Amino acid sequence: MNTIQGECIQQDLKTLDVSILIVFSIVGSIGNVLILLSILMFPNMRRSMNIFIASISVADLINCCYSMPWTIYYRINCFPMVKDIWCTFNGFMLFLCAGVANFSFMFIAVNRRFFVLNRMTYNKIFSNKKIIFYTIFIWIFWTGFGVLIYFLNAFHYIPNSFICFYFDDLAPFEASAGFTIFGVAIPSFLSTICYISIFYNMIKIKRKITQSVSVNSSVIRGQQTGVTQLETQEKKAIISAVVAFVFLNTCWTPYCIHVYIDHFAFSIPPLVHKTIIWMAMINSSFNPIIYGLLNKKFRFSIMNIIRCKFGRNQSSNSSVFISKMN
């Protein structure tokens, strides 16, 4: 490894930084492994929706098991500069996994929109085979995008952040704009539109039933019961997706904004720059918590995995229980 030794920068924060990275790396690695095992071990978890979640977990697992440990290594040794092919590859992998996760969240939002509002179209657009095709397309697209960024010589070691990633200070501004637009802005915009349409539809249906005065009260009560059941199903279908969407934007929006501030306004302080980049990287550790602990089916599967109940009878009982929660 071609490294340059020098005075350790941010020495007073070294212990804190390393501790934070280790915790999130371990939590993210274990969490994403449990999510993947939940889908693999329980047949009823191998649903079309969970293919996107599995893709996110694979990307997040690579980030937590590979990219974060390298950042920990760089932080421990306080390298002011790293120049080798592995650093470039590390930056490429982190870029690839971030893009795959962000695009997968967008597809999940679209998936939820059709699942809740147009079930007939959903069954045609989101069959298992088509979702696998969408997932493969996402990985191919971001692999190609990453190769393009590589030829623009944009993957470098960022000294004050101790990470090999897309270095916006050295990359062409057009590439930075493309990454923020395609990697974050477009997925966030489409996701927002999808979730707004879902909530708007729920409010619209509820108002129609409330304002209906031309039918007898028993019919109204029956309709209200149906609406309540519909709302409950919709809320269960989108709650984990909405929470993940909020966390995604909380972690990635500062990164997108800082690129333009740094280019047009003033230079971002090193400590702030490090915090912004690490927030985006650490997002991979939150996803298994959101899609695991906040989802009853995943939570039940994970608990059985932890208890090592993989016998035939347990798997059968688990499948029945999970089916009842659908």
SS3 152: coil
State both tokens at 270. Answer: 């090193």
What pLDDT is recorded for position 231?
Answer: 56
Phi, psi (degrees; rounded to nearest 5) at 67? -70, -45
Q: DSSP class of residue 162?
A: T
What pLDDT is recorded for position 288?
Answer: 84
Distance CA 109, CA 40 (A): 23
Q: In which element (H, E) is residue 33 found?
A: helix 14-41
What pLDDT is recorded for position 141?
Answer: 95
What pLDDT is recorded for position 259?
Answer: 77
Distance CA 317, CA 49 (A): 22
Q: DSSP class of residue 80?
A: S
Domains of the chain, residue spans: 3-318
Could you give the percent of the chain with pLDDT greater than 90?
27
State both tokens at 61. Answer: 């697992």
* Cα atoms in the Cβ-side hemisphere of radius 13 Å centred on 83: 4
Interaxial angle between packed helices 128-151 and 85-117, expressed in degrees from 0 to 180 and rounded to the nearest 10: 150
Q: DSSP class of residue 7?
A: P
Distance CA 245, CA 195 (A): 10
| Contact present, 265 and 275 (Cβ < 8 Å) | no
Alpha helices in the chain (DSSP H): 14-41, 48-62, 68-77, 85-117, 119-125, 128-151, 173-180, 186-211, 217-260, 270-293, 296-306, 312-324
What pLDDT is recorded for position 7?
Answer: 52
* 206, burial (CB in 10 Å: exposed 0-12, middle 13-18, buried 19+): middle
Instruction: Give the mean pLDDT per block of 10 residues along the chain (326 residues).
Output: 54 87 95 92 82 93 94 85 83 92 91 85 88 95 92 85 80 78 86 88 73 53 50 64 84 84 78 89 88 79 79 48 47
**Residue (of 206, 6, 244) closest to 105 by Cα position:** 244
Q: In which element (H, E) is residue 134 found?
A: helix 128-151
SS3 165: strand
Distance CA 82, CA 249 (A): 30
What pLDDT is recorded for position 236?
Answer: 63
pLDDT in tens, 93-111: 999 998 999 899 899 889 8
Distance CA 252, CA 255 (A): 5
What pLDDT is recorded for position 313?
Answer: 46
For the entire predicted model, the pTM comes to 0.84
Phi, psi (degrees; rounded to nearest 5) at 168? -65, -20
3-318 CATH choice from 1.10.240.10, 3.20.20.80, 2.40.290.10, 1.20.1070.10: 1.20.1070.10
What pLDDT is recorded for position 315?
Answer: 47
Phi, psi (degrees; rounded to nearest 5) at 166? -70, 115
